[in-house]
Chains A and B, each alone.
Chain A
Amino acid sequence: MLYLQADNCWRENKNHCLLCYIGWLVERGVFKTVELSYFFIGHTHFGPDQVASRISVCAHCTDIFDREENARILRHAYTPELHFEHLDDVANCQDAWFPHKSEKGQRSYAKVRGSAIRKINLISSVRHFQVTMGVDPKPEDEAPKHRVVYRVKPDAPSAWSLPAPLFWHSPSGLDDRKFGGSLVKTPGQTLKAVEESEKGLQAARARVPQASYDRCMYDIERLRNPISIPFHWKDGGKFKKELQRETPPEVRALRSLIWGQALTALTIHMFLSSCAGYGGRDRRGTGQPVCEQTVHERQ
């Protein structure tokens, strides 16, 4: 079971795209149930806020010249150590899951428009979602009734609503090509940011080491010419557990045989080495096992 906790922000967290991804995980059998909860307005600070606070304190009293230094210095801002990773590319899931987009940029969740997920009404008024496999009480067609369903509740003490189907059609059957290139802003959208960044960097030129300056210029070049790459999730985003399930039974049997033999050999090796260290090997040349020597010496 997976619990997810996020801010109540519709743009990034509380939207159909994230629910579609979660439903996709449940449908593929990665998790049996996923619970997605959002904080109410004016919530107290939670874990990530605490980490952000420590990062802020650490950054306040340190010079940070480039992105690599950023990761190197700020990783020690919190205990336990933070693990930094740079995001270069973001998969374009929305185009695959809700391909239709109006002129104003609004997505359509209608079945006829090719949307994978159904529209969830009053999404802004609920704070808890539970996505699981269940029985659809009102099937509309002859499709199997056991499918991904979701339940909602407005706050923690309330009871879950009745289950409702999440998908029009499964997103699992989608071709990787439908995902399109990774999502980056167009050069026109980043133009202002590039101009500001260049001016800011030039103003601080004298205080920055040459190597860091070169790295910053490289980043500005990335801002000026963002590159969109094809869908980059390895194996279409599938996990190893799923890939194991998909392999033919003969191959799986062969693999398990090899693994079984390797494990048996390793266990025997550990057992023998343990015995040798404990009482099997006569290290003193007395003809007695070491454990008996110990008993004898104690007497």
Chain B
Amino acid sequence: MLCFARLGLLDPCFRKTNDALQFPENFMHIDWDGTTQLAFGYPHFKESTHGEDKAKQRIANHLNIVIVAGWKILVYDNLDYIYQGPDLTVELLQRTLKKYEEVYLLMCVCVCLTPPPSGKLFPARRVVSSG
């Protein structure tokens, strides 16, 4: 995938994802979308009984899926009393960036503490066989 990206043969969307995966310290890629998967909201039953097919809407549940490339997938669910609008999108981004920030700061500290890869300072222990 990386060589395709360098040759410019990759779709722009995948190129951006690839950048975020290869160089996470310089690039970040987020894509998101909203969905409502439970047909009648919850309680949701795998088997519908006679009479339920008269489509009584129960508690509607909206899902917003946010994928941060190279990190994790977040799903925000909300009830029907929240407006589906630009404020919701801004809230999702803000929360996602806040969460990512925690990990990123932690990662920075871990990078500082990581010993050098050469075997001089922290050589691998030799296993001594008892026999």
Binding site for B on A (CB under 8 A): 1-7, 11-13, 15, 17-18, 21, 25, 30-31, 35, 37, 46-49, 51-52, 55-56, 59-67, 69-71, 74-75, 78, 80-88, 90-94, 156, 183-185, 190, 193, 196-197, 199-201, 203-204, 207-208, 212, 216, 219-220, 222-223, 226, 233, 237, 239-241, 263, 266-267, 270-271, 274, 277-278, 290-291, 293-294, 297
Contacts and interface: CB of A to CB of B under 8 A. Distances in A.
A168 to B, nearest CB: 18
Chain B interface helix/strand/loop/mixed: mixed
Contact of A13 (B37, B44, B56, B89): B89
A263 B112 contact: yes
Give chain B's interface residue range (CB within 8 Å of chain A).
35 or more
A239 B97 contact: yes
27 contacts: A3-B29, A4-B30, A12-B84, A13-B89, A18-B90, A37-B13, A48-B32, A52-B33, A55-B37, A83-B74, A86-B77, A86-B78, A87-B64, A90-B82, A90-B87, A183-B87, A185-B81, A200-B56, A203-B51, A203-B56, A212-B43, A216-B42, A216-B43, A223-B81, A233-B94, A240-B101, A266-B113
Interface of B: 12-13, 16-17, 19-20, 26-35, 37-38, 40-46, 49, 51-52, 56-61, 63-67, 72-95, 97-98, 101, 105, 112-113, 115, 121-123, 125-126, 128
B89 to A, nearest CB: 5
A223 B79 contact: yes
Contact of A83 (B75, B97, B115, B122): B75
Contact of B95 (A2, A62, A81, A85): A85
Nearest to B96: A85
B83 A185 contact: yes
Contacts of B95: 85
B44 A12 contact: no
Given A92-B87, A197-B58, A222 B81 contact: yes
Contacts of B58: 196-197, 200-201, 204, 216
Nearest to B78: A87
A132 B60 CA distance: 39
B81 to A, nearest CB: 4
For B38, B40, B77, B87, the residue with the greatest tally of chain A CB atoms inside 10 Å of its CB is B87
Contacts of B112: 263
A246 B99 CA distance: 21
A222 B26 CA distance: 42
Contact of A203 (B16, B26, B52, B115): B52
Contact of A51 (B17, B73, B101): B73
Top 5 nearest A-B pairs (CB, nearest first) are A17-B86, A48-B33, A200-B58, A200-B56, A5-B31
Given A2-B30, A85-B74, A223-B59, A291 B41 contact: no
Contact of B126 (A64, A241, A294): A294
A69 B88 CA distance: 23
Contact of A46 (B13, B52, B125): B13
Contact of A277 (B43, B78, B125): B125
Contacts of A270: 113, 115, 122
B49 to A, nearest CB: 8
A52 B65 contact: yes
A85 B76 contact: yes
Nearest to B12: A156
B97 A30 contact: yes
Nearest to B88: A90
